[in-house]
Structure 1
Amino acid sequence: MNIPGLITGSRAEGAIAARSLVNHGTEEGFSAQAMDGTKVITGVTTIVPADDGEVFDIIRSGLALVGYGADIALGDPLTANADGLAVPAAAGDWFIGYAEVPGAEGDIGSVWINPGKLAAAAP
């Protein structure tokens, strides 16, 4: 399901894939493809990819289509893998939101954008 809410523009810091997760870049006004759950994930890209320096759209709220990089169950909190694709979040990860549909690696799924951070595992 794709019912985007707030959509903002940003400049690409490096190549940005379509329907991938992004986070803040190293410079103001730039965003980079997310590589894992160690940084705040700020949104999901649209169907349009971007090359370094190009302006692209980021879906920041609502429901967004996203590429799955692993098997996903309904309701899984989703973070990024090394390719910026959505994978189940682990303890201590930042996540973009929750899976609206189950799916397998390579599928285009849907995420309810509701970012947060999972609690770290107990020592």
Structure 2
Amino acid sequence: MGKLVKTYTAGGAIAHRRIVKFGAADGAVLQATAATEGLIGVTDHPGGAASGERVDVVRSGFTEVEFGGTVTRGGYVTADVDGKAVAAAPAAGTNNGVVGRAEVSAVAGDIALVFILPAQVQG
């Protein structure tokens, strides 16, 4: 199954296999830093990208993401402060941006497959 990949300009330093959000300018992305942000995809840029460099972002389909916490397969995935994947667990009445669903169970430090399908979930 293929991926939908779009190239953007890095609005700051972005690591490989990290969750991103739109930047301040059209065509720019930033590494995500919170579950409450509008998450759009995951970087596919070995070695990472410096500010101003072009960076590929997987917007839909299966891709590998670096995990920052425990997620159970099938669970919704959001971003931690470092743009790593963690379980989406919004408080009651709070929205979390999600980048997709984990294909396998994973823990902090794992690089695992996620189906990218950005959305929001409410607690």
- Asked whether the two chains share a fold, i.e. TM above 0.5, the reply is yes
Which SS does the other structure have where 2:108 is aligned?
A: coil
CA distance in 1, matches of 2:3, 2:76: 19
Indicate the percent of aligned positions where both proteins have the same amino acid.
Answer: 37
Contact 1:4 1:59 in 2 (8 A): no
CA distance in 2, matches of 1:4, 1:80: 23
Quote the residue 1:102 is aligned against: 105
CA distance in 2, matches of 1:67, 1:47: 13
CA RMSD of aligned residues (A): 1.1
1:4 Cα deviation (Å)?
A: 4.5
Check if 1:22 corresponds to 2:13. no
Which SS does the other structure have where 1:87 is aligned?
A: strand
Quote the residue 2:59 is aligned against: 60
* TM-score relative to the length of structure 2: 0.91
Quote the residue 1:116 is aligned against: 119
More strand by share: 2
Per-residue deviation, residues 45-95 of structure 1 (Å, max 9, x unmatched): 114210010001000111010000001111110000000000001222010
Unaligned runs of 5+ in 2: none
Question: What amino acid maps onto 2:99 in structure 1?
Answer: I
- In the superposition, relative to structure 1, how do residues 60 and 87 fare at CA in structure 2: closer, same or farther (>3 Å)? same
Aligned residues: 118
CA distance in 2, matches of 1:51, 1:102: 31
Contact 2:73 2:105 in 1 (8 A): yes
Pick which of 9-18 and 39-48 moved more.
Answer: 39-48
Per-residue deviation, residues 10-46 of structure 1 (Å, max 9, x unmatched): 0001100000000000111110000012221111011
Quote the residue 1:6 is aligned against: 4
* TM-score relative to the length of structure 1: 0.91
Question: What amino acid maps onto 1:8 in structure 2?
Answer: K
Contact 2:64 2:111 in 1 (8 A): yes
